[in-house]
Amino acid sequence: MERRDQIILKKVLSEITIAQEMVGDQTLEQFLKNEMLMRAIGMTVINIGELVKNLSENCRKAYPLIPWKAVAGFRDIAAHKYQTLRMEDVYETVQTDFPLLKAQLEEIMREEAD
């Protein structure tokens, strides 16, 4: 894997961790009442998608089980259709999808370190 891809994946992992820490153990109802948090997590989703878009084609092809297009696509929705973005979907992404993506990326980083 190219060094640039490793740097990008480390940044994605950092963004995921930041989002998870910001949401913490808040319920969906608490999340939906916190405008600042919703905006911060929306920006984090955008950051992650933008980072993924900058991965090399070789990296994305080497790990086809990761939904690269979906991650980048969610970024596009968050960035360009923010007013219609369902914050329930954002919350669900942080709670359900981010832990899985984080585990997959950590595994990639371990494989590449060997």
Based on the structure, what is the number of domains in the chain? Answer: 1
Instruction: Round to whole Å and give the CA distance between 1 and 14.
Output: 19
* Banded pLDDT at 82 (limits 50, 70, 90): low
Mean pLDDT of 57-65: 94
The residue behind tokens 């995921």 is 16
Average pLDDT, the chain: 91
47: Cα within 13 Å, side-chain hemisphere:
18
Q: What is the pTM of this model?
A: 0.88
| Domain assignment of residue 43, given as a range | 3-113
